[in-house]
Structures are given as structure tokens and as C-alpha cells.
A and B are shown apart, each in its own frame.
Chain A
């Protein structure tokens, strides 16, 4: 029961793209991140875990039970998913968050109970979305929509929260705000979080476990210090980088350099070599 999620020899994908030999486990109450270049299979892996994509072989265990034995409803009670784009249109924020209670409603449950409201309001408060509960989802900014998405997901009271690039297309204020909210939930409630994330520095700063995916396979996994080494990153991303520890947190940080700087460096090195 120490692992919330275990993937064993997972193999899945599309005719033109396959994930294979995926093995990892995510301990309960951890904050894990899936990283990797575009087209590496991050989203495919994510879709396999959410159940949108069927598996070719291998299995996924949620709290030691095969995910296949879960009904859609049971799945929704245990795993909540926040997509990259929320697109909820002309639904008020409060109604949207209340939709997180659907997995708990019977077919004939037409009206929300007091408990539904209580739960929804609690998580709207925690995610700071209570302020605009009467606004329409389409009227919110991207960051606010993402927060409402998290509130809706928490209202499902899941064991595991999955997020698909929650911070892409947001400014640093909102990036940090959203990740702080997730961190707080992880620390205070012991919620297990797994997110796909592009930004290596944010991944390093917030996650306690990283899974680096490349070409449909897991390249490296482990704590950020082990995964975000310059060898790993240059190998996977084919880009020259420098890593150094963040002076505040001590976590590895990734620095890029422009092509000109790299060229100048190389010329300098050649000059010293020829001398």
C-alpha cells in the first residue's frame, strides 16, 4: 500500500508511436513529474494512465489494485484529472466545481446535497477560486481556469491528482501560484500528485520524483538531483546546458546558452587547443 500508482511493463500507443517497457512506481503522498521533449511520449503515457488509451500489455496498479478492474465511476472517485485546457464555456465557476461530485451521484440524484456544496466550497476556498464563483468559466483568465480545474478535481476527493501541463501558457506569477497550491495540498493533505510538465526548473523545484521520458521509453527516474544532470538532459534534449544548484532551494537548475555563446566558447576552445 506504499505505492499509489505502479506501472508494470506497460506497452501502449498508436500505430506510428509506441511506448514500451514502462516501469515506475509513485509512492503515496509524493509529488511526481513526468518530463521529456516534445513527442517523447509524455502525453501518451498520461493518456494510458487516465484510461483514455487502451494498453497493449502490462498493467497499471492503483493502490495495488489493477486499474482495469475499476469501473469508470470508481476511477473518477480515485483519480482526478486536470487537463491542459479547461474549455467549460458558459458554466458558472461554482457549477463547474460542483461537477466534481458527479462520480458520487446516483443517476436519480438531481439536486446537490449540503455535503456536495460543503466539499466544493472548501476546495474553492483552498484554491482561491471562491472570489469568482458566479462568473462564467469562459470569463476567467487561463490561470484562474486552471485553478478552477484543480478545485473541481479536488471535489472528486481523489487519491491521485493528475495534471497535464498545468503551467504551460501562464506567466511566472500564476505558474508559481498554481504549483504552490498543489504543493500545499500535497504537504497538508498528503495528496499524491503526478503532473506532466515542460519546464525543467519548475519540475526540479516542486517535484520530489521525476520521470524523464524519451523516444517512448523511460530514460531516467528518481529524485531531481539524479535526473536533472547535464549528461541526461543533453542526451535527451540534444541541447547544450549547464546545471547548477538553485541558491535558495539547493535543487538543480538548468541554464541554457544562446547559439552565439556556444559558438564563441567552442572557437575559444579550438584556439587554445591549436595553441
Chain B
């Protein structure tokens, strides 16, 4: 009797093992399908972005223009106007979205995004300060991004120091501190704006609304490289992030040094958001909705979530830029308007659909 039981149990285990292998392959297969799908979408949106504009070019036209080389006007439009925008869209979209998913993972709070923590407030304040006091005319085009970056990091440093006690960061305090500090920063910026000339005012507002129009090729490359390197680095934290889904204490019980991990991820996310804001201005919502959509689509495992958030953030921003450039052509809408409206609407649609689905399921 006893022996039979053992034997049956053993058989069961072997059977499970086999089906386990199939299950595992199924999961990884599904992940690679998601990846291929996203990469195809990204390539498609890049081609779309390259071909649409004041002058519409077909895919074949693009190829022949590139083959012909330097002389034509089309070549100049492609390589010096559209291509840098696409590159910056990929970099900033990916960076913001990755930053969002990392912060949501650390805080276990789906409402956190790079800007909730005061990063955009700090950057805007930095830029407003430089414009109001006319410092940007002294140093040149590099000055505004630099001011944005400095501003955002000053705020991050402040938030971080206030919420660290005895070498431990308190996540909840940090969140509240971030919200408060960003209120203070935006009020201070209002103060600057209220007291300055209308010319400066225009400059500040223009910068705050965000744009992928960046003349300095060097900055674009820096942002792109930084975004990709950060994506690779974030993969070193996949297991801690997965464990943190259970909460800080339980992740610790699984052998994760949560204090260190949280600090490093916070720094990485801030760097990504700070650089994005510095180069492209305040482009809201990408870091909030894209991670959400991806969670609904691919599930909560960070191994697939990180890369798919990055890719879909890039796709979203490249497409948003296409809309921003074409909808009231020849004028251009601020890209933040498009990301806010389009992103919000898509998100609401997804939410209502998924809540209907879960209602049906529970019935």
C-alpha cells in the first residue's frame, strides 16, 4: 500500500517534469513572439516616421534616395531632419518607459512614474532659471539640457536624502516627499514665470511642452547610448525586481538585498528620466501608461516586461511624433499633447476592456 503510493507519486513527478519542459518552452516561445512583434512594429513606425511629413516619401523612394547619396534635398530632409527625430524618439520613449517600469517595480505602486517623483519639476525649474537669468545666451545650445539635467538631479538628491534614515530608504516617505518637492518646484517656476518678460515666458513654455526637435546630433547619440546601456544594466536586476513583486520583506526572505537594489534602481530610473527631460523637455505619460499596457499584455514577469516596455515606449513616441508633426502641418503640435491625449484614451479603452473581461471571468 505504502509502496504503491510512493511509486504513483514518483510517476506523477516524472510526468510533471515532462509537461513542465513543454510549459517552459511555451512561455519562452510566447515571449519571443511578443519581442518579434514589437520589433516589427518599431521598424514599421520608423519607416512611417521617415516617410511622412511635408514631403511624403514612399518606402522605395527612401531606399533610392539613400542609395543616390548626399546631394539631393530629399537626402538632407531624411538624414538631417527626420532621422535624428526618429533616433531621439526611440531613445527618449524607451528611456521614459523603462524608467517608469523600474520605479513601479521598486515602489509596487502602479501610479508612480518618473515625473511623480519631482524629476520633471526639477528639470523645468532648472531650465526656467537659466532662461530667466539669460544664462543660456552665454554658453550656447548645450546649456538648456544641462540645466534641465542639473535641476532634475538636484531634486532627486533632495528627495533621496530626506527619505533616507540610517542608511535605509523608506519607500513610502520617498513617494510623498517626491510629490511635495515637485509641488514646491512647480510653484517656484510659476514665481519665475510671473516675474519675467513675455519673451522668456515663451521660451520656457516651449521647452516645457516638449519636442523631439534637437539640433545637436551629439546629444541624440548620448541619449541613445545611455538608454540602451541602461536597458542592459536593468537586466542585472531582473531577479530582484521579480522578487520585489512579493513585497520588500518577502524579497529579503528570498535572499535579495532589497536596500541596495532599491537605491540602485532608483538612481538608474532617475538618470534615465533626467536625461530624457533634459534633451526632449517634459513629455508626460509615457512612463505611466506604457508599462501599464505592457503589464496587461505580457504579464508581470520582468524578464519580458523590461524589454517590451522599452520597445513599446519607443514605438509610442515615434508614432506620437508623426501625429504631432502632421496633424496641423506645416505647424507642429507639442508632442506632450499627443502623448497625453492618445495615451490616456488608449489606456482608458484598455482598462474598460480588461475590467469587462475580468467581470465576465468572475461570473
Contacts and interface: CB of A to CB of B under 8 A. Distances in A.
Contacts of A120: 20
Contacts of A95: 301
A90 interface: yes
A107 B232 CA distance: 13
Nearest to A104: B255
Contacts of B28: 111
Contacts, number: 81
A108 B233 CA distance: 11
Given A91-B245, A95-B301, A76 B238 contact: no
B118 to A, nearest CB: 28
Contact of B235 (A75, A77, A110, A130): A110
B236 interface: yes
B255 A118 contact: no
Chain B interface residue number, banded: 20 to 34
B24 interface: yes
A108 B235 CA distance: 8
A187 interface: no
B6 to A, nearest CB: 10
A34 B354 CA distance: 44
Interface stretch (B11-19, B192-200, B264-272): B11-19
A109 B254 CA distance: 15
A101 to B, nearest CB: 9
Contact of B255 (A50, A77, A83, A124): A77
Given A72-B252, A75-B255, A81-B253, A88 B246 contact: yes
A105 interface: yes
Nearest to B246: A88
A165 interface: no
A223 B9 CA distance: 33
B21 interface: yes
A121 interface: yes
A84 B245 CA distance: 17
B247 to A, nearest CB: 7
Nearest to A70: B255
B13 A91 contact: no
Interface in A232-273: none
Interface in B215-247: 235-236, 238-239, 242-243, 245-247
A80 to B, nearest CB: 8
Nearest to B28: A111
B20 A117 contact: yes
B247 A87 contact: yes
Interface string A115-135: 001101110111000100000
Contacts of A102: 239, 242-243, 254-256
Given A110-B303, A112-B24, A122-B13, A73 B255 contact: yes
B250 interface: yes
Contacts of B300: 89-91
B109 interface: no
B257 interface: yes
A103 B254 CA distance: 6
B332 interface: no
B61 interface: no
A52 interface: yes
Contacts of B255: 71-77, 102-103
Given A72-B257, A90-B300, A121 B21 contact: no
B20 A83 contact: no
Contacts of B21: 114, 117
A55 interface: no
A64 to B, nearest CB: 21
A52 B259 CA distance: 12
Nearest to A87: B247
Contacts of A122: 13, 16
A112 B239 CA distance: 11
B17 A121 contact: yes
Given A103-B254, A117-B17, A125-B12, 7 more contacts: A75-B255, A87-B247, A88-B245, A90-B300, A107-B239, A117-B23, A122-B16
25 contacts: A72-B256, A73-B255, A74-B255, A75-B255, A76-B253, A76-B254, A81-B250, A88-B245, A88-B246, A90-B300, A91-B245, A95-B301, A99-B243, A100-B254, A102-B243, A102-B255, A110-B303, A111-B28, A112-B24, A117-B20, A117-B21, A118-B17, A121-B16, A125-B9, A130-B16
Interface of A: 50-52, 71-77, 80-81, 83, 87-91, 94-95, 99-100, 102-103, 105, 107-112, 114, 117-118, 120-122, 124-126, 130, 156
| 5 nearest A-B residue pairs (beta carbon) | A76-B255, A73-B255, A121-B16, A103-B255, A117-B20
